[in-house]
Amino acid sequence: GAVVSQHPSWVICKSGTSVKIECRSLDFQATTMFWYRQFPKQSLMLMATSNEGSKATYEQGVEKDKFLINHASLTLSTLTVTSAHPEDSSFYICSAQPTGGGNQPQHFGDGTRLSIL
Amino acid sequence: EDKVVQSPLSLVVHEGDTVTLNCSYEVTNFRSLLWYKQEKKAPTFLFMLTSSGIEKKSGRLSSILDKKELFSILNITATQTGDSAIYLCAVGTGTASKLTFGTGTRLQVTL
Residues in chain B: 111
Backbone angles phi, psi at B42, to 5 degrees: -85, 160
Report pLDDT digits (tens) over B39-96: 977 889 999 999 899 999 999 999 999 999 999 999 999 999 999 999 999 999 887 6
Is B88 in contact with A109 (Cβ distance < 8 A)? no
For the residues of B96-107, what is the DSSP string, one character each? TTEEEE---EEE
| pLDDT of B16 over the 90 cut | yes
Name the residue among B41, B50, B99 with its Cβ closest to that of A106.
B99
What is the rounded distance in angstroms from the CA atom of residue B26 to the CA atom of residue B62? 22
For every one of its 117 residues, what pLDDT tens digit does chain A have, with 9 covering 90 and above? 688 999 999 999 999 999 999 999 999 999 899 999 998 878 889 999 998 888 899 999 999 999 999 998 999 999 999 999 999 999 999 999 888 755 788 999 999 999 999
Q: How far apart are CA A72 and CA A95, in angstroms?
A: 16
Secondary structure letter of residue A99 according to DSSP: S
Please write the tens of the pLDDT for every residue from B72-86: 999 999 999 999 999
Calculate the alpha carbon distances from A58 to A51, A81, B33, B52 in Å.
Answer: 11, 14, 22, 31
Report angle CA A66, A71, A72 to the nearest 5 degrees.
125
Answer for the pair A53, A114: CB distance below 8 angstroms, yes or no. no
CB-CB: which of A43, A97, A105 is closest to B88?
A43
Q: Distance (Å, rounded) from C-alpha A65 to C-alpha A69?
A: 9
B-chain CB neighbours of A93 within 8 Å are: 42-43
For chain A, helix (H) and strand (E) counts, in that order, are: 0, 11
Identify from B3, B44, B99, B100 which residue to disrupt to test chain A contact, counting A C-beta atoms within 10 A and taking the largest count: B99
CA distance A4 to chain B (A): 10
